[in-house]
Chain A
Amino acid sequence: MKEKVIALIEEALNVPAGTITENTLIADVEEWDSLAHVMIIGELEEKLGIVLPLEEAIELTGVKELFEKAGIE
Chain B
Amino acid sequence: MSRIAVLSNVNMNFVIRMLGKEAEVYQAEGYGNELGTLMNPASSYHAFAPEYTFLIMDLMELLEHELEPETAKGKIQNWFGGLEAALKPEVIYYVSDAYLWGVELAAVFEPGRKAALEQLWQQELEELCRRHGNVRMLPYRHLIESMGETTAFSMKMWYMGKILLSNEAQKLLCGLILEKLKIETRTPKKLLVLDLDNTLWGGLAGENDITPIELSEDHTGLAYKNLQRVILQMQRQGVLLAIVSKNNEQDAMEILEHHPHMVLRGEAFAAKRINWQPKHENIRDIARELNLGTDSFVFWDDNPTERELIKEMLPEVAVPDFPDKPEKLAPAMVEIYKEYFAKSSITEEDRKKTAQYAANSARQELERKAGSFEDYLKQLEIVMTRVNPEKHMERLTQLVNKTNQFNLTTKRYTQGQMAEILQDEEKRVYLYSVADRFGDNGIVAAVIVNLGAIGAVSKRVGSGKTATDEGFLDLLGLQGCPVVEEFVMSCRVMGKNIEYAIMEDVEADLRESGYAFLRGMYLPTAKNQPVAELYDRLGYRRLEAEECGNAGKPESDGNVCGNTGKPESNGNVCGEPTGRVYEIELSKAPKRLHQVKVIREA
Contact = CB atoms under 8 A, between A and B. Distances in A.
**Bound pair (A, B):** yes
Contacts of B14: 35, 38-39
A42 B157 contact: yes
Q: Which of A38, A43, A45, A57 has the most CB of B within 10 A?
A: A38
A24 B154 CA distance: 27
Given A46-B166, A46-B167, A46-B168, A41 B13 contact: no
Nearest to A52: B156
A29 interface: no
Given A45-B156, A54-B156, A38 B163 contact: yes
Interface residues of B, number: 14
B160 interface: yes
Contacts of B167: 39, 42-43, 46
A58 interface: yes
Contacts of A42: 154, 156-157, 163, 166-167
Interface in A32-57: 34-35, 37-39, 41-43, 45-46, 54, 57
A39 to B, nearest CB: 6
A30 B161 CA distance: 18
B109 interface: no
Contacts of A38: 14, 157, 160-161, 163
A58 B156 CA distance: 10
Interface in A1-17: none
Please classify the interface of chain A as helix (H, G, I), strand (E, B), loop, or mixed, using the class held by over half of its residues. Answer: helix
Contacts, number: 35
Contacts of A41: 156-157, 160
Interface string B144-179: 000000000010110111010011100000000000
Interface string B230-261: 00000000000000000000000000000000
Interface in B1-60: 11, 13-14, 17
Given A42-B166, A46-B166, A35 B13 contact: yes
A35 B161 contact: yes
Contacts of B17: 35
A54 B154 CA distance: 12
B156 A57 contact: yes
Contacts of B13: 35
B174 to A, nearest CB: 13
Contacts of B166: 42, 46
Contacts of A34: 161
Contacts of B160: 37-38, 41, 54, 57-58
A54 B168 CA distance: 19
11 contacts: A34-B161, A35-B11, A35-B161, A38-B157, A41-B156, A41-B160, A42-B163, A42-B167, A54-B159, A54-B160, A58-B160
Given A38-B160, A42-B163, 5 more contacts: A34-B161, A39-B167, A41-B160, A46-B167, A54-B160
